[in-house]
Structure 1
């Protein structure tokens, strides 16, 4: 087994299915917002804080999960992640207080995401795929996660409508167990052998990255991505209800359209990123997001405008992921790709925390989401400007002296 080599096809299929389940299940959490808060008599801020905490815990733990995956292989990290995922869903279903709910939805699932999503899977892809196919392969994996978002939204809404939100969470916990066999197929052979020729330590890699201007700008831009997508994912359903579009099917279709068009957006970004400067593509994505949000708020709100907005945002949703990770691999190499991607992702999740929490906090105090929508627009323009100066060339390192 030590000599078994992973093929790129195996990594893309099994890694893609793993991300499909992990990202797909969490993408539907916004559908649980109103049923859970109404059942327990909680404020929207209580639910929003739990999901905000989830994103923060995910981001804070991702660099460490990535470092462990780079050091020992992805399998062990994935297995722990799956176990935490199942436990978190069960705690969500059984919680009777906001604190307990936050421990499940926030802490446990946040930690689980760090071992079952992009950064860890991208580390495996980076070590298996050639440089000529790397960004394209990352786009394939991101598209798989996007398909999971499209697939799981109607599944979760159907479960909530037919068996209730609590039993729906029990079913999702059972589905999460399917990630276990997928993780075993991604076991990387002979990680010790791969490390024997390493020229960098973890500390050296971190110092090099943090001292690099390209890495700093990439990290700042990724903050905005998290803020925008999580605010919309968590608060779109209650926003529509407040504006008179309270039929749950409207929000369900909108979130499903985000997932569907995200498939095309992430695949397209991965393909274009293999041939075009990735910094220009990132700037275009962030600026276009701001334009789409602005148009949605300025035009009369309707079912049709909501679904068009969802489709356009979906095409831009996670298309930043393969481009951002592709730049990291291009600039710093793949030895510590999971860890360095995890550090940048922490910035993304700080933005996600603020997007989820501020949406609930400001709504409870102002009765409106208008302020957060304006923040999402302004931050998108800022992120577009931040990504333009990035240079996509490998760092210069001193060559080792031959013995």
Structure 2
């Protein structure tokens, strides 16, 4: 919903960057959320941590009265029937490719968020060795997992802004294909090489830079192909694919770990779907569609 509002209020030239700024802002909480939860768990039971985070979420309501949405630019646009536009998009092979391609984004993000700290705990030593990480206070695998999630959020801000910049200057489908290719290479390299605290940090930095970089490009691509009037509806349909992937990444991660005692299988599935998304985006025909007029 937020992306649709921002997309309609932005000019075509600045839409990718506007969507990137909003997406990057969503990661600010992730930068401090995981380390804060780790610190609170040392002071109170997990139920108290949930209540503390619930209070912080409710506190956000205090800023709503000061929020003002800028008026969208006025220009003559044909009035399209929503049903006709949605059906037209569903029949468009490019929309289907966008839908399929977004699946791996949800799979990878949800799996890493839910299971990566546990994977770090499993593969790294219970107590980290001395050295630079130890001097920074990262002395346990749980702390390392929290720092990894925070680093993903931090570098996601930079990566998402860079994706918004690139989306204004280059073909969005090609930038998306590069992002998914980068994710695939990073994930494959991480699982093939020895897992150490340093490799966890490096993977978090690289994965963070590619984390939500797909969102402004995917939503911007939907707006570019089908217009702004029903961008929220059409992007919502595309986002359904993301959430189906998210469900599968979290559930399959737990299911396969229980079955095999390892995250290796589900990790390689993530590598495969990432490569699939990189290829799928190359087939998108990136040009605005002629929309049917309302009766």
C-alpha distance in 2 between matches for 1:269 and 1:363? 34
Q: 2:20 maps to what in 1? A: 139
The verdict on how the C-alpha distance between 1:185 and 1:373 changes in structure 2, with shifts beyond 3 A counting, is: same
After TM superposition, the structure 1 = structure 2 runs for residues 116-155 of structure 1, keeping only pairs within 5 Å, are: 120-155=1-36
In 2, Cα distance between equivalents of 1:186 and 1:129: 17
Q: How does 1:369-388 map to 2 (within 5 A)?
A: 369-388=263-282
Could you tell me which residue of structure 2 aligns to residue 157 of structure 1?
Answer: 38
1:203 to 83, 87, 98: 83
Structure 2 partner of 1:225: 105
- The residue correspondences of 1:313-352 to structure 2 (distance < 5 A) are 313-352=207-246
Q: Is the 2:101–2:278 contact (alpha carbons within 8 Å) kept by the matching residues of 1?
A: yes
Pick one of 269, 276, 282 that aligns with 2:176: 282
1:126–1:334 CA contact under 8 A, matched in 2: yes
Give the C-alpha shift of residue 386 in structure 1.
0.1
- 1:260-286 CA-partner distances (Å, limit 9, x unpaired): 110001000011101110101110111
Within-5 A mapping of 1:63-142: 120-142=1-23
Change (3 A) 1:205 1:181: farther
- C-alpha separation in 2, matches of 1:148 and 1:271: 23
TM-score (normalizing by structure 1) = 0.66
Equivalents in 1 of 2:275, 2:189: separation in Å?
A: 14
Structure-2-length-normalised TM-score: 0.89
Compared with structure 1, are the counterparts of its residues 166 and 257 closer, same or farther at alpha carbon in structure 2 (3 Å cutoff)? Answer: same
Q: CA deviation at 1:377?
A: 0.8
Q: Does 1:169 find its partner at 2:50? A: yes
CA-atom RMSD in angstroms: 2.1
Gap change, CA 1:145 and 1:190, over 3 Å in 2? closer
CA distance, structure 1, for counterparts of residue 70 and residue 206 of structure 2 = 41
Q: Distance in 1 between matches of 2:71 and 2:219?
A: 24
- Distance (whole Å) between structure 1 residues aligned to residue 10 and residue 66 of structure 2: 16
Residues 335 and 181 of structure 1: is their aligned pair in 2 closer, same or farther, counting only changes over 3 Å?
A: farther
Q: Distance in 2 between matches of 1:363 and 1:224?
A: 19
Q: 1:240 & 1:137 partners in 2: Cα distance?
A: 35
- Deviation at 1:287? 1.1
Structure number with higher relative contact order (C-alpha < 8 Å, ≥ 6 residues apart)? 2
Per-residue deviation at 1:188? 5.2
